[in-house]
Amino acid sequence: MDKTHVAQGVANQLWTAENAVDAAMVEASKLMTDLMQARQELRLSAVVADPAYAKIAEAISALSTARTAMVDAHNELAEAKLRVGIRTKLIGIWGKDADQALYTPEMKRAV
């Protein structure tokens, strides 16, 4: 199989993984917001859910670390691509609406 096609498959999966981490960060942030709004709506003391806030913040921090690691991996793979002799730039196409904001499997290649 052509190494450019193999690299494209890896690039597609990389973009999918990067977007999954971003989506998880969005969902965890929404959870934090919903929890804060629920506490205020129920007029509960800030003390009531403080341990949960701390755990959610910890999860968001871990996701941020994971996102940085994915970006670092992306940069490493871009360098590896050149070392194996692939000079074609692999680019993705974003979905038309926010719910489809992932790269499609049909990637365009730009030279």
What pLDDT does 108 receive?
46
pLDDT(86) > 50: yes
pLDDT of residue 92: 59
Average pLDDT over residues 18-32: 97
CB neighbours of residue 81 within 10 Å: 19
**pLDDT greater than 50 at residue 82:** yes
Enter the pTM of the model: 0.74
DSSP 88: P
Average pLDDT, stretch 27-38? 97
Q: Which pLDDT score, from 0 to 100, does residue 4 have?
A: 87
Q: Please answer whether residues 60 and 31 qualify as being in contact, where contact means their C-beta atoms are separated by less than 8 angstroms.
A: no
Element containing residue 27 per DSSP (H, E): helix 3-41
Give the pLDDT band (50/70/90) at residue 1: confident
The answer to whether 106 and 93 are in contact (CB under 8 A) is yes
**Amino acid identity for residue 80 in this structure:** A
Using CA atoms, how far apart are residues 12 and 102, in angstroms rounded to an integer?
10
Per-residue pLDDT band for 18 (boundaries 50, 70, 90) equals very high
Provide the residue type at 5 as one letter: H
Q: Tell me how far apart the alpha carbons of residues 56 and 49 are, in angstroms, rounded to a whole number.
A: 11
| Rounded distance between C-alpha atoms, residue 23 and residue 9, angstroms | 21
